[in-house]
Amino acid sequence: MRYMNHMPNAEDFEVKCKHLKTALQCHEVSTEDVKCVREFVYRQPVKTIIDNKIAHLIEVKHPKRKKSEETLTSKGQAIRLDYFLRNINSERLLVCQKTFLAALKISQRNILTIGTKKAEGQIIERRGGDRRSKKYEEQKNSVKKFIGNLHASESHYNRDEEETCPESDDVDPELCDCAEEDIGLKI
């Protein structure tokens, strides 16, 4: 139940930022917009699907300015994220990180992880799934090949020359031939 919309009516949403910039459109986001975005993202409670939908709502950019090695921290700033929310008219609204996190009710760490994966080009989650079927495929094929190469030898129970009728005086040979033709059995 971790990946689901806990507040589908968006009652808990309020714009926390007070931006004066005209580029960010946080003040234009309504609770109906947040409700639609949450419905879009959390429609299926599967982590891989949710991550892919969130990846469509963020835009990854690499910083234009390179910092010198002395001022860089251990990791440095590798990516810059732009956050978008869709309103009811399906227009993309550029919002700040606080508004985006409040609208989707997810942590900053999850967003940064999705952003770095999108920058690397691998959004699809690789955890779970089928790992056993391909693991022993080569061994299965070698066993099948070995069994296919074995030569069959006839057992002593199944002899090449079977008699249709026993060689005894009690059974009439013509009767055996008739029974064999009618029923299709060997006596």
Residue 31 counted as domain residue? yes
Please check whether residue 18 is in contact with residue 98, taking contact to mean a CB–CB distance below 8 angstroms. no
Average pLDDT over the chain, rounded to an integer: 75
According to DSSP, the residues that pair with 82 across neighbouring strands are 59
pTM above 0.85, yes or no: no
| % of the chain surpassing 90 pLDDT | 7
Give the residue among 80, 100, 82, 108 at the shortest CA–CA distance from 29.
100
Whether residue 102 is contained in a domain is answered as: yes
On whether residue 85 sits in a domain, the answer given is yes
State mean pLDDT over 20-40.
83
Q: Tell me which of 112 and 6 has the higher pLDDT.
A: 112
Instruction: Examine residue 151 and state whether it is found in any structural domain, yes or no.
Output: no
pLDDT band for position 163 (cuts 50, 70, 90): low
* Domain total of the chain: 1
Tell me, yes or no, whether 80 lies in a domain. yes
Tell me if 5 is assigned to some domain.
Answer: no
- What is the Cα–Cα distance from 19 to 27, expressed in whole angstroms? 8
Sheet-wide strand order for 92-95: 58-61, 80-86, 92-95
- Domain with 50, as residue range(s), is 26-67+74-120
Instruction: Examine residue 81 and state whether it is found in any structural domain, yes or no.
Output: yes
Q: Is residue 56 included in any domain, yes or no?
A: yes
